[in-house]
Structure 1
Amino acid sequence: MSFVGIVMEAAGILTTVAVASVQGLGGYKGASTGVKLIIGQGDGSMGGSVPHIALWDDHGARIGQYHAKSKDTIDEDGTGELVINHSQTTPPGHQADPMYVMLSNLENNAICISAVYVTNDKISGTFYGDVGYMCGMSWYPSTALVDSNFYTPRCVWLDADHTNGINARALSFHLNDIAAQPDKLAEYNDNTDTICKSTPRFSFWGNLTPDGQIPFFSPPLQYNIDSVNGGQGADKDPKAVIDRDNQYDKSVYVSQQEHHSKRSSEKTAKQQRRSIKTSNINPEHLIITDSNGHSAKEVCEHPNSVGWDIVSTKEGLFCDLADRQLYPLCSPTITVNCFDLNALQLKTLVERDGNFAVHPRGYNTTAYWK
């Protein structure tokens, strides 16, 4: 059984990555589903609270849930391997296919997720963080490997209180649409709205709680036969899968039927504004990467990046994430307003008593990515 999911190439083109097997993911035989979480890696602080997980079948009937305890965490170098029993089917314990998946972080301990593998030994699929990145989630580069080609997808953040401007508590996806066949992938590349503005297919949510209800395709979608492998291809009606204007409220806590008072909405907005101090999680920590797949320029220029200052040795650039300012690395010809890679210091000119002098800024801790 292979786990297929969507990633983004350097040129911004969506493609698929298939993992033949997922080590350690088992125990899901019978009326149960296995879920494995791959956490972003590389700096020591991407782990966090284990999200709650909910499953539904293709008709929107709830299958089962995993309720994490408040103290349950996954370290950066760890993985979450969970088995969700189908205890909420009718009748309970009935075998069902987990077509819709939702993850919700109930805690204020942010976690950055690179991949989510889902299988019930009959169907399988993978959500990779690149989909969330493409569709607007808070993200950061990662060194977590997902297949034999050494691909490292971005990780996406889930956090209940939106610290550092993290914009999602929860995410949801339609499993078979995330494991896209060639014709469907071509549809996504031709019009990203067919995935990013198709809420039942994929969405991230500001406040959706573990018992929240996500939207479903009702009736289930109709697909053409894929021209490449004869599987489930592109949508028969691509326009029908795209959200209408203001069709869904992404700030809800439980369902689209809830109504918030103006005071409650203003309170939530005020709390979120207070939490947005800077996109830099720790200004005293620095990432240095030698990977061609990690871009300091992208981190600085992308509005949804959340993490740490970063140096790309391949680009010869340093990103001051707090100010979203790029600097070149220092050299014999560039000695100010640059980053000194040997001293691990940003050297900028500041005025003192009418004179300008170099003011170095350094770091207490550093992570090196190879």
Structure 2
Amino acid sequence: MPDGLGVMSSFISIISFMSSLFPDSPGSNSAMRLGIGLNEGAGGNVPEVTVFNANYENIGCGRGNFVDLEVHQTSNQQPLNVELEQPQNDGICLAYATHTWPDGHQYGWVGDWGAFCGADSYETQVVVDDSGITTQCVWLDKDSSAGQGSLGLHLWMPASSPERNKGGTEHPAEWYCRHPAIMQFYDTPDATHYTWPPNTRMGGRDIVDGGDVNNSTGASEDRPGRTRSLEIATELVVNYNAAHSAAKLCDSETSFGPDFVSMTEQLACDMGTDTLWPLCNANITIYCFDAEIKALNDGAEQREVESIYEKEDNSGLTFSTHFTYMTTIIPMPGATTTARVKDNSKQIDVTDEETEQIDVNLAKFTAAGERYPASIPVNT
């Protein structure tokens, strides 16, 4: 089982990558597997992959339709340097990248590195080792149309090795952020890349010890407004993992993604406004997020959620729901199922006078016990 490095708080940790995360060696070529945490639009696009030798000479380029990519190389050299560049405008959130070399060496990078160093990121349920450790993902987006992500990511793959002469645990986590030769997010295709070890023979710049991964890319500080796409703005992630924090997401200046509910914290983060809401309960009934109907109760008007689809992963930890808001909903007698509720409800406008008249009419009826006998199942 290959060992790699990860970030635990601000310290280096050893990750025993699951062997299933690595692609098989394709002979004289190298292979990559990209783990996708989220996508921005219609499925997202797989990044283009280019590999370079120690002198930053291009020795291969690959493109795939899925997460497994075979990188065709012109020689049997070690593909030390990797560039992942997003060719289209539908961005992806990259959770991990694993690399199998022609000689059988295997290296893996996790999104926690990019998130720790300030890249736009989001929580995922992507498990990277047998102990159940999950990783964050980082956004790659060609045009940053949603105000997030970078065009590309450069990685020096051996840095993820626990071996001291390659990266190792003797370095603090911030050390990796200060060395763009090891990890560099960039926003322009002609960005100057750095070499490791320091080497200027091929036009690459020496590593620098200062700044950070994002500043080293030359990316503009005046980034476009962080307006989420419709797909992201209408998605809700409900999470039961105690390691994932809605409060942390809302407080982060670089987090980006769907609205997030932490059932452990009993908090919900509106990622569009960075507003943190408590979950509704017996003691909190307004100005809270109702996790059952997946709607915000802001004390003004009632809003009902209409699910387009609901998806739960096989771990039972998360599910995502696309939803739309309705201004007013009138419950209809006999609506015991979700389907019946949807059939019997529609968006209407009710004036205050009409609401008062409804109350008057209802008061004329005599309650004759519960709506249904105890033998009749409800909420099915």
Q: CA deviation at 1:280?
A: 8.2
Task: Find the counterpart in structure 2 of residue 195 from structure 1.
Answer: 176
Task: Find the counterpart in structure 1 of residue 329 from structure 2.
Answer: none
Does residue 1:37 correspond to 2:34, yes or no? yes
Task: Find the counterpart in structure 2 of residue 66 from structure 1.
Answer: 62
Q: CA deviation at 1:367?
A: 4.9
Aligned residues: 306
Is residue 46–residue 111 contact of structure 1 (8 Å, CA) maintained in 2? no
Match of 1:103 among 61, 71, 84: 84
Change (3 A) 1:276 1:245: closer
Q: 1:47-91 deviations in whole A, cap 9, x for unaligned?
A: 5111111111223222211145xxx4x4xxxxx11221222xxxx
Change (3 A) 1:196 1:304: same
Change (3 A) 1:66 1:164: same
- In 2, the alpha carbon distance for the partners of 1:16 and 1:298 equals 23
- In 1, the alpha carbon distance for the partners of 2:140 and 2:31 equals 21
Is residue 24–residue 81 contact of structure 1 (8 Å, CA) maintained in 2? no
| Stretches of structure 2 lacking an aligned partner (at least 5 in a row) | 200-205, 318-380
Is residue 284–residue 363 contact of structure 1 (8 Å, CA) maintained in 2? no
Task: Find the counterpart in structure 1 of residue 160 from structure 2.
Answer: 178
SS in 2 for 1:164: coil
Query: What's the TM-score once normalised by structure 2's chain length?
Result: 0.71
Is residue 151–residue 186 contact of structure 2 (8 Å, CA) maintained in 1? yes
- In 1, the alpha carbon distance for the partners of 2:214 and 2:123 equals 32
SS in 2 for 1:115: strand
Is residue 232–residue 258 contact of structure 2 (8 Å, CA) maintained in 1? yes
Does residue 1:50 correspond to 2:26, yes or no? no
Q: 1:87-114 deviations in whole A, cap 9, x for unaligned?
A: 2xxxxxx311111111000110111111
Identical columns (%) = 23
Query: What's the TM-score once normalised by structure 1's chain length?
Result: 0.73
- In 2, the alpha carbon distance for the partners of 1:346 and 1:246 equals 37
Change (3 A) 1:361 1:309: farther
Is residue 21–residue 128 contact of structure 2 (8 Å, CA) maintained in 1? no
Q: 1:29-53 deviations in whole A, cap 9, x for unaligned?
A: 23x1111111116x99695111111
| Stretches of structure 1 lacking an aligned partner (at least 5 in a row) | 75-79, 88-93, 221-238, 253-264, 350-356
Is residue 96–residue 111 contact of structure 2 (8 Å, CA) maintained in 1? yes
Is residue 133–residue 156 contact of structure 1 (8 Å, CA) maintained in 2? yes
Is residue 183–residue 213 contact of structure 2 (8 Å, CA) maintained in 1? no
Higher RCO structure, 1 or 2 (CA under 8 Å, sep 6+)? 1
Task: Find the counterpart in structure 1 of residue 127 from structure 2.
Answer: 145
Task: Find the counterpart in structure 2 of residue 91 from structure 1.
Answer: none
Q: CA deviation at 1:200?
A: 0.5
Q: Amino acid of the residue matched to residue 44 of structure 2? A: G
Task: Find the counterpart in structure 1 of residue 5 from structure 2.
Answer: 6
Q: How does 1:122-161 map to 2 (within 5 A)?
A: 122-161=104-143
Q: Amino acid of the residue matched to residue 325 of structure 1? A: T
Change (3 A) 1:177 1:27: closer
Q: Amino acid of the residue matched to residue 4 of structure 2? A: G
SS in 1 for 2:232: coil
- In 1, the alpha carbon distance for the partners of 2:213 and 2:114 equals 20
Task: Find the counterpart in structure 2 of residue 18 from structure 1.
Answer: 16
Task: Find the counterpart in structure 1 of residue 262 from structure 2.
Answer: 312
SS in 1 for 2:268: strand
- In 2, the alpha carbon distance for the partners of 1:246 and 1:64 equals 25
Is residue 287–residue 297 contact of structure 2 (8 Å, CA) maintained in 1? yes
- In 1, the alpha carbon distance for the partners of 2:212 and 2:84 equals 25
Q: 1:100-149 deviations in whole A, cap 9, x for unaligned?
A: 11100011011111111112134221110000101111111111222211
Does residue 1:215 correspond to 2:194, yes or no? yes
- In 1, the alpha carbon distance for the partners of 2:214 and 2:185 equals 15
Q: CA deviation at 1:247?
A: 12
SS in 1 for 2:162: coil
Change (3 A) 1:250 1:344: same
Q: Amino acid of the residue matched to residue 145 of structure 1? A: V
Task: Find the counterpart in structure 2 of residue 250 from structure 1.
Answer: 217
Change (3 A) 1:363 1:242: farther
